[in-house]
Every structure is written in C-alpha cells, then in structure tokens.
Amino acid sequence: MKAKVARIAIPVIMALFLILVMASPAFAAATVTPASGGGAISADDFGTGTYTDLGAIVIAEGAIGDIGVGTIILDVPTGFEFRTAPAPDVAVTGAGELVATFTSITTTQITITVTTASATATNTLTIGGVSAIGVRPTQGIPLASGNIIMDAASTSTILGVTTGPGGTNFGTLTEVPGTAASFNVVTSGGGTETAGAAFSVTLTALDTYGNTCDSGPNAYTGAHTINFASAATPSPNGTPPTIPASESINFTAGVGTSLTSFILTNAEEIVAPTIGATDGIVTGFSAPITVNPGPAVSFNVVTSGGGTETAGVAFSVTLTALDAYGNTCDSGLNAYTGAHTINFTSTATNSPNGTAPTIPASESINFAAGVGTSSTGFILVNPGETPTITASETAGPSGTSAPITVNPAALASYTVAPAAGPYTAGVAFTVTTTGYDAYGNVVTNDSTSIVTYTSNSATMVFDANQDGTFTDNSEALAAGVSVIDVKDNTAASGVTITATTGAVSGVSPAITINPAAINYYTVTSASYNQTAGVAFTVTVTAYDQYGNVVTTDSTTSVTMTSSSATMLFDSNGNGIFGQRGDNIKTLSAGTFNIPARDTIGRSGVTITATDPNGNTGTSSPYTISGWTGQAGPGAAPPAAPPPAAAAPPSGGMPVGALAGLWAGVAVICGLIIWLGIFRR
C-alpha cells in the first residue's frame, strides 16, 4: 500500500515543483512584440527605391538574463528584402546591465550583438525604434508573405524564443497587389463564341505584375464605368456586331461582369476579333476570340464553271452551308458535315431545238467543313436565258444560285438567209449567215470560225468585207454571225448560196435573180433573105446590160421602123399591113414576134426596134428579092397591091393607099424607061 502511494505521490510532487519554478519571476520568458506595418506591402514597390517602414521590434525580458550574450540574427522572409541604409537603430531600456549594439545588415539579415546580459534588473531591447527597418518585395508575382524570424545560427539565446523556420514571429510581412494597371478581359464562352449568340464579358483588374487587385489598399471594387470597343467586323451578309459602348459594372475583389449582351456575327474574319475595355485609366483587351458559325439556314450554290457554263457540257454544283449571317458552317457545334440528301430544281428551259436540260432530282452529298459537291452532272442547253439552280434539304437549309450564264456549244450548223427579194442582176444584196450549235443556239461566243461562200451560180460574186470590190468570199464570224454582200449578173431561178466552215455548212433557200432594166434589143428573123410582098416574122427580144432577156417586162411598147420606106408591119396579126399602130407592139416576157413585109426588092434593108426610153436594137441586113422577071426587059410589072381597108390617119390618106400610089409611080417610071429604050 505504501509503495502504491509513493508511485502516485512522487510525480505529483514533481509537477507541483515545476509549476512553482516556472511561476517564479526568476524564470519568466521574454516577450517579443513583432514589427508592425508589414501587412500591406504593395507589389508596386518591387524593383523601386520605395521601402515600407516597419514598426519597432521589441524584446522585453520577463526575467533577468532572458536575453543572453551573443548574436541575434533576424532573417527576412522569402520574397522580401531589408533596406540596408540607413540601418535600423538598436536601443536598450531598463535598469539592467544589458548591452546590445547593431552589428550589420544585408538585404536578407540584420545582426545585433549582445555583449552583456542583464544581471540585476530586466531590460527591453528595441530594434528600429528610431531608424525604422525598411522592407520591400523582391518579386511582383506571386505575392509573397512570411514572418521575420530569428536565424538558427544566432548565438544569443532568448528565453521563450524559438529560432529557424516556424520559429517566433518578429514581424509579419504580406505583399499585396499593386495599383490596377490593366484588365483581363474574358468572354463568358471562354474566348469561343457562336455567331449571333449573346455573351457577357468578365473583367479582372490586374496590377502591373498580373496580380488580381482583390485586396489591400489597391483593391479594385465598387461601381466603375467601363467603355468597350472592338475591331469585330460585320458578317459576310453585312450584319454588324453588337458591342455596348459603355456600362457601369460593379467590381468585387477586382472582378466584375457585364450585364449588357455582346454579339459577334463574323465567323470568317481573317484576324480574330478582340474586345477592349477601359475605365479611362485601366485598359485591357481580350485574347483573340474564336467565333463559330451559327446553325445552317441556307446554301450558297455555285456551279463548277463559276456561274458560266457551256450548253450540253455536264458540270457539278458545290453547296456551302451558311448560317443566318452568311458564315460557312465549318466548325464548332454547328459544323455542317456528313451525308445529306439534297433536292434540286431549276428554272432552266429547253433549247431552241427542244432539247431538255438535265437537272438531278436529288442526290446524297457528303459535306466536310460545310462544303459539299455533287457527283451527278447537270446540263444546261439554252443560252437564251440565265437560269438558276435551287438546292434544299428537307427541313434543312436551302439556297438558289446566282443567274447562270450559258454559252453556246461548238459550231454545228449554218442558216444562210438572203435579204428579202426581189433580186436583180447586177444589183448587190445582203446575205446573213448565222452559226448554230447542236441545240439550235446561235454561237454568239464564236468570232473566229472562217466562213467561205460559194454558189451554184458560176457568175455569183461575193464581197465579204463589204468594200464594194466583190473579190473576197470568206470572213470570220462575229458573235456567230456573218453578213456579206453578193451579186450575180446572170438572171436565173433556183440560185442557192452555201456557207462552209470545215465540215459545217448551210445552204440558202433557192432564189430567183431577175434581169435588170432593158438596155438593148435584138431584132432577128429565121432568114434574112426575104421576098418582096411576102410576109415574114421578125422576133424582137429585150436584154439588160448583162445579156439577160428581160423576161420580167411585159409592159414596154416597142416601135418598129426600117431602113426601107416600103417595109410594113402587122402588129395585131390581122393580115393587113400598114394599118395605124401596126408598127408598135408590147413586150411579153421580154419578147414578141411581129409580121413584116416589104414590096420592093432590094438588099441592105434593116429593121429597128425602139422603146420610149431610147433603148434600141437593129437587125442584121435583109435582102428583099423582087417579083419573077422584074429584073429583065419585058418583064411584067408586079400588080399593085389591093387598097388598104384601114381608115386613113387624121389629115392624110390610108397607109395602104399611099403604098399603092408609090407602086403606080414605080410602074409608070418603068414604062417610060422601057419606051425610051424601045425607040432607040
């Protein structure tokens, strides 16, 4: 029992002893009052000559000799440095014998040497009470903080003070943000937005070193009027972005978010847009913002020829999916990719010769980055129009191409069209040749093909350059057309003109070349040996200057005369010669026959035809033979012709009577001559 009591009593007694010892003033620990004023050291002081003066470090002995002889080395925390000049002062107060002096200072340590400890009374050691300890940051970021501590290498011991990291605090130093110098500007989408979708902007006020101005004397808080600007441009279809000019934004701990919506519309900018913000002093810009397209709502439809195609030549169609702002849907959540069934329609019509265009009804097209190209061929055939092609996806985007220019295909045929007739020998007229492709379209895109002209009339001549020389029969098409002058001096029907280029040719409709105006007459008979008193036929034919019978003339009246005064005509064919008007006859298809008779035998007799315009023609000489026996003595004179039954012309005797009179005179003269000869 005694042993058990002893085991319990001995520890209790020892504990009480220790309590009494520690409570005794002779063993009281020193008290350290840390330096004040280091709780808000601005990062702006880094790298400058500005230091923050700290309050004094005070070490008060709790008992005589608490501060032992040796060195007291104070370390500045990482991220800070001491001011080396002026050095802080060291002061000892109290009735004791403590002697301590300043020894040295570096940017990282202050050394104080205690040469005499207190012996009869306690003392207080003050460091930096008059010449303050100055500190400043050694870096702008990250912000530093820590305590001034007593280095473990110190040789002085201070009762109650621990040394080294985590030891007694001789002063807390805290680096705080500097003055706001810029804004960090971030969109609500983190720098990736969708065209047409509203977003907000968050601003973070930063000091020079990028620290958020969230605390300390430089904390950026409260309402600030922020002005915004952006280099964002309108979308491809011209829709401008929405950038608020300014807004009052409330900041907390250096961060504020706009309440006004921002909208970007151009997902195809060469330089990604940024948004700038400023309060007039503090300014910042966002990083380049990626703008993704909105949902596809339409197609841009372009033919493989860029909107210009050739009749009959197959082409493809490329579709580009666009959002409401005209951006290609090539990226982001709205990227238009993969296989899509596209329906096609067109305003294209048949060609002039009835060939229909080829427009696929639908096709499954694979899209990559918003773009897909048809594999089925489209064919247009009518250059006389500018058709469009429309592409659409059921319950999806649709679009129509710009009007498509359709060029004619290659030259395939000609039409040769003489100007409207009538056509006259020797008179030029125009021939227009038009080239066509296989679809009946005029080859307006052909100005190089050489057209050569020929005719089934050997006398037709051509004037391709229309200079009046009629020595050239070929020229190049001009926009698919050739216009030349032609003429033919030969009157004929069934005349055709052929235009040829290589294997391509065309023939005009048959035309008739009419003779020109009457230029002269021919007067002919079957024989130019005729007998006096015997009628014979004279043929009168009208010719133009080119030797064509003027078959078109059935109206001109021709007057017949003769070098023989006794030559008579019977134009009406009643058998009575010499009646009034019997020497005048109207052409019929450029000619006529008229009976003629002479009652006097002679040679060198000619007959002349003359019209009112002075055109004339004379026969070859006739020889008129007399009656049998008339040439020798004793021949009986020919009987006088019977009196004409025709009425005499006004103011004279009938032509028949006049002829009879002349015949009688001839007989009498013959008798007189005969009697004279006989009497001799």
Concatenated DSSP letters of 616-679: EEEPPPEEEE--TTTTSTTPPPPPPPPPP-SPPPTTS--HHHHHHHHHHHHHHHHHHHHHHHHH
Q: How far apart are CA 621 and CA 155, in angstroms?
A: 171
Q: Which residue has the tokens 């841009």?
A: 300
Residue 66's contacts (CB-CB under 8 Å, 6 or more residues apart) are 28, 29, 30, 118, 122, 158, 159, 160
Among residues 580, 595, 581, the alpha carbon closest in space to that of 647 is found at 580
pLDDT tier, 18 (very low <50, low <70, confident <90, very high otherwise): very low
Minimum mean pLDDT range among 166-170, 468-472, 632-636: 632-636
Query: What is the sign, positive or negative, of the torsion defined by CA atoms of 41, 44, 46, 49?
Result: negative
Cα–Cα distances (Å) from 663 to 581, 625, 635, 651, 656, in that order, read: 22, 16, 15, 22, 11
Predicted confidence (pLDDT) per residue in 229-285, tens digit:
999 999 999 999 999 999 999 999 999 999 989 999 999 999 999 999 999 999 999
DSSP 344-389: EEE-----TT-PPPB--SEEEEEEBTTEEE--SPBB---TTS---E
Minimum mean pLDDT range among 2-16, 284-298, 360-374: 2-16
**Could you tell me the two tokens for 343?**
């329906």
pLDDT tier, 27 (very low <50, low <70, confident <90, very high otherwise): low
Among residues 619, 622, 596, the alpha carbon closest in space to that of 608 is found at 619
pLDDT tier, 16 (very low <50, low <70, confident <90, very high otherwise): very low
Predicted confidence (pLDDT) per residue in 388-422, tens digit:
999 999 999 999 999 999 999 999 999 999 999 99
Q: How far apart are CA 270 and CA 7, in angstroms?
A: 91
Contact 330, 393 (CB under 8 A): no
Q: Model pTM?
A: 0.67
Predicted confidence (pLDDT) per residue in 348-378, tens digit:
999 999 999 999 999 999 999 999 999 989 9
